[in-house]
A and B are shown apart, each in its own frame.
Chain A
Amino acid sequence: MSEKVLIVDDEEDFLEIMAERMEGKGMEVTTASTTDEALAILEKESFDAVILDYQMPGMDGFTALKEIKKKKPESQVILLTGFATIEKGVEAMKLGAVDFLEKPANLEILTEKIKQAKTEKMLIVEKQTEKKIKDIILRHGA
């Protein structure tokens, strides 16, 4: 099954080309050019990975990351930034990002990270489902 990815970046050319390249690698790609648009999409759809630009107009990357995690805690967010520092990387991980990559990113590495994110998300969803089933059994008495 192909990876379902949401790319969030205000650079339209970047979105268009990244989406084309990732689709060429068999991924299912949705794009958003604002964080508001991305949050609206995430309300309706679920993704294996969210590729989020750190410097978006109107909402910085960390705030956007917090909003995404609040809306969809199981989201696997990979932040892209112009300049990745250790401090920013640590902060991103603390806020729940799975990775923090510097632009221009290597698509091979990014693809690998997306695959890892998908596996991680499947495990989280499996655990959530298991918990839900256990709760139902407990409530109704097996």
Chain B
Amino acid sequence: MEYKQLKSDIGLHFFRTIITSTSHELKNVLAIINENAGLLDDMNLMYQKGIPVDQERVGHLAAVTKEQVNRADKIIQRMNRFAHSVDEPVKKIDLRDALILLTDITLRLMASQRVKVNLISGTDSVAITTNPFYLKYLVWSCIDYVAKASGTHQTIDLEITKLKDGAGIYMSFAGLKPAPTERLFPTEKEKELIAVLDSELTLNESAGRLSITFPENIC
């Protein structure tokens, strides 16, 4: 069976964005562990000079190190799961799981744009057969657009709804003010993703609503 693929290699750009962001986060974790080790070294040198070591402080440093190791483990797990999104061009996925992974892995990217994304809890799991990587890319592109168009602190609520013949992702946010120059969205990139995913996108900027619907099965 032939699946629809993007004509251009725009997917690589998304992949690069995620990998560079997560690797930066890992470097931050390493920096904390490195400074912890350095501080323990400093304390050891002081001890050798006869200065007593604060046991409580050593315990705290051990706890911080463990915490950072756990954090790094989670980052790597997410990175690994994300990388596996490209394994199969079409796969049955749980939409909620896909959005949890996307919001977790882009947390730092969103924070850098002062955007907070909430996945509305209580949403039932909805399974669809689609391209997992392109789906994440399209949702991320929409979040990124809203973030950049807002230009200020923005909270985006994400909701999943099961439809008769598919599923929908609904984003609500503080309405966007008219821009001095016309904003272009969806761009050619999103249009290509929409076509490949057989999805539909509607946007009401002033009302702060964006929806993307997906068929139950794109095959």
Contact = CB atoms under 8 A, between A and B. Distances in A.
Interface of A: 10-11, 13-14, 17-18, 20-21, 24, 55-58, 60, 80, 82-83, 102-105, 107
Consensus secondary structure, chain A interface = mixed
B28 A103 contact: yes
Contacts of A82: 23-28
Contact of A57 (B24, B35, B64, B112): B112
Nearest to A54: B24
Given A21-B38, A24-B42, A103-B27, A11 B112 contact: no
Given A20-B39, A56-B112, A103-B31, 18 more contacts: A11-B28, A11-B31, A13-B64, A13-B67, A13-B68, A14-B35, A17-B61, A21-B38, A21-B42, A24-B42, A55-B24, A57-B111, A82-B23, A82-B25, A82-B26, A82-B27, A82-B28, A103-B30
Main secondary structure of the interface of B (DSSP, over half): helix
A14 B71 CA distance: 14
Q: Kindly state the interface size class of chain B when it binds its partner.
A: 20 to 34
A101 B113 CA distance: 24
Nearest to A53: B28
Contact of B38 (A10, A11, A80, A107): A107
B169 to A, nearest CB: 25
A14 B114 contact: no
Contacts of B32: 11, 13-14, 17
B5 to A, nearest CB: 31
